[in-house]
Chain A
Amino acid sequence: QKEVEQNSGPLSVPEGAIASLNCTYSDRGSQSFFWYRQYSGKSPELIMFIYSNGDKEDGRFTAQLNKASQYVSLLIRDSQPSDSATYLCAVNGAGGTSYGKLTFGQGTILTVHP
C-alpha cells in the first residue's frame, strides 16, 4: 500500500460544478495535511492545509479531514477553467526527524471544461 494515495484521474468537470478530490494515507501518526496545486511545468503551490478533524473552508475551497478513516479531501466549488491543474495531496511526518518531511500522493489531474 502506498503511503499516500489519491483517487485516480483524470477528473473532468463542467465549469461551475463541484470538483471532489480524495486522498487516503497510511501513517496514523501523521499530523498535518496539505493540498497543493501544480500547473503543467510549474512548481507546486499550496492551496490549503488542515490539522484537525472536520472541514476547513477558504473561498471556493473546502478541505475535509477524517483521521479515524485516514482520509482527506478537497472540494472545489464553482469550478473554473483556471482550476485545471494537477492536485497533490501531501502528508506531514509523524514527528521527530520526520517532521516537515512531506509525503505526496501521485496527484489527480483536474480538467474544468467550459
Chain B
Amino acid sequence: GAGVSQTPSNKVTEKGKYVELRCDPISGHTALYWYRQSLGQGPEFLIYFQGTGAADDSGLPNDRFFAVRPEGSVSTLKIQRTERGDSAVYLCASRDSAGDEQFFGPGTRLTVL
C-alpha cells in the first residue's frame, strides 16, 4: 500500500497570507500526527488526532494554527497570517491503532517571505 503523502511538497508564501497543508495517511491508520521541523532540529510535535478528534493539540504554537480531520482520514493543517518564523518543514505521520510506529510522510517545506 501507499505510504503517507503530503501536498504540496513545497509552498512559498508571503508574510500575512493563509496556507493549507494536506496530509493523506496510510489507509486504515486511525492516529495522525503533525510535527514541524526547523533546520538542524528534531521534529517538534504540533497536534495528534485519534479518528476525527484532536486528542492532543498542546504543541500548536498559537491560535494562528489550526488542524482538522473531518472524516478521520485526510487532515489539513491551516496557518493564518503567516509569519517568517513559520518557515519550516511540516511533517505528517500516521500510526495503526495496534502499533507504536509512526510512519512519516515526505513533508511540506513552507517558506514565508
Contact = CB atoms under 8 A, between A and B. Distances in A.
A97 B102 CA distance: 16
B33 A102 contact: yes
B8 to A, nearest CB: 15
Centre residue among A44, A45, A98 by max chain B CB count within 10 A = A44
Interface residues of A, number: 22
9 contacts: A45-B104, A46-B102, A92-B100, A97-B56, A98-B56, A101-B45, A102-B102, A106-B42, A107-B42
B31 interface: yes
Interface of B: 31, 33, 35, 40-45, 48, 50, 55-56, 59, 91, 95, 100-107
Contact of B95 (A42, A43, A88, A100): A100
A21 to B, nearest CB: 13
B40 A106 contact: yes
A36 to B, nearest CB: 8
Nearest to A46: B101
Given A43-B91, A98-B56, A104 B101 contact: no
B60 to A, nearest CB: 12
A8 B42 CA distance: 13
